[in-house]
Chains A and B, each alone.
Chain A
Amino acid sequence: MPEESLDTVIHAPARLRIVATLATLGPGDEIAFPRLRALLDMTAGNLSTHLRKLEDAGYVAVTKTHEGRTPVTYLKLTDSGRAAFRAYQAALADLLKGAGT
């Protein structure tokens, strides 16, 4: 399998780490932006940039809400984001198998 077949949205290591982290949550779960940022150890600006791209691709759903007076942003992987991550992992496994033979 050629490397070009890999999903370019997930391919950037920063976005791969973001998607991998969101994939550890259950399908019905969301995580607040600061918590996600801490798990990834990324800067807020950097994380926002990558999340926007993932959102544009339909892989991440963003919910902006208020808790008391504080605005909170929740992130979750969409069904298609979860499917894309699974396909990406399978493609990597195939590449690895191809390299081994």
Chain B
Amino acid sequence: MSTDHGTPSDSRGVESRDDGAELDAAARLRLIDEQQRRARSGLDPDSRLLYGAWGVAWLAGYLAMWFTSRDGSDPAAWAGWTLAGLIVAAMVLTMVHSIGRSRGTRGVSSRTGAMYGWGWFLGFVTMWAVLNGMIRAGLTDGAVIAVAANGIACLIVGLMYLGGGMVFQDTGLYVLGVWMLLTAAVATLVGLPGTNLVMALMGGGGFLVAGAVTAVVVHPRRQAGAHA
């Protein structure tokens, strides 16, 4: 971090070349690479971290739900609180991390990111209203409400990732969206108590695989920059 290239010598004029004359072309290309790598890791959200957090939240939370209801009974209260707590924690982490990375920037990208973020919020608020309406309309069976809630939530996740994949031109995100739609379908069709196990393994597992693929394949490539 001690690279002080900003020597005062070049404040004498644009044509002053002495401050960098010792750097050859290869060193200059390396300088560009290093700086762009540093800029990207400071500005772009770390997908590995976010996928990992959501993967752990879904895997541990839904496993707890499944584990305490696998004999056909209702899930234990502690399992419900664990799932809710982990989801809220992952949500807070995602918001704090993403907003922090885009801090001090404005324009098309931050506007797009904000619209995408609000999309999630609007989707889940609407889901809450839809479920409430179903309950008001006479839906009382807790098992049906649980299956519907998980299915709709997972559908929103899948569709938002499809949208994200399109907007950010991120094929990996789009593939994850397709996987989440598949998870929504299977989790709903299987029914309780299997729903929770499907959400844990396919949903949580899907996030963790996405995080691992990003860490091993996508991240090093993206960090290396556009020009190979």
Contacts and interface: CB of A to CB of B under 8 A. Distances in A.
Interface in A8-47: 8-9, 11-17, 20-21, 23-32, 34-36, 38-43, 46-47
Given A28-B107, A31-B104, A21 B20 contact: no
Given A21-B35, A41-B3, A26 B107 contact: yes
Given A13-B20, A49-B11, A53-B14, A93 B29 contact: yes
A11 B1 CA distance: 21
Nearest to A99: B25
A83 interface: no
A49 B5 CA distance: 13
A92 to B, nearest CB: 5
Interface stretch (B38-46, B150-158, B170-178): B38-46
Nearest to A94: B25
Given A16-B28, A89-B29, A96-B25, A23 B105 contact: no
A30 B106 contact: yes
B141 interface: no
Contact of A29 (B5, B11, B32, B110): B110
B6 A39 contact: no
A31 B42 CA distance: 12
Given A29-B107, A35-B104, A47-B6, A12 B16 contact: yes
- Bin the interface of chain B by size: 35 or more
Nearest to A7: B14
A42 B14 contact: no
Given A21-B39, A24-B36, A31-B105, A13 B17 contact: no
B106 A24 contact: no
Contact of B104 (A32, A56, A89, A95): A32
A14 B39 CA distance: 14
B125 interface: no
Interface of A: 8-9, 11-17, 20-21, 23-32, 34-36, 38-43, 46-47, 49-50, 53, 56-57, 74, 76, 89, 92-93, 95-96, 99
Given A13-B23, A25-B105, 4 more contacts: A11-B17, A26-B107, A76-B107, A96-B25
CB-CB nearest 10 A-B residue pairs: A35-B104, A28-B108, A29-B107, A13-B5, A14-B6, A32-B104, A95-B25, A46-B6, A21-B39, A24-B39
21 contacts: A11-B20, A13-B31, A14-B19, A16-B5, A16-B32, A17-B35, A24-B40, A28-B108, A28-B109, A29-B110, A30-B106, A32-B104, A32-B105, A39-B38, A39-B43, A42-B6, A46-B8, A50-B6, A89-B227, A96-B25, A96-B26
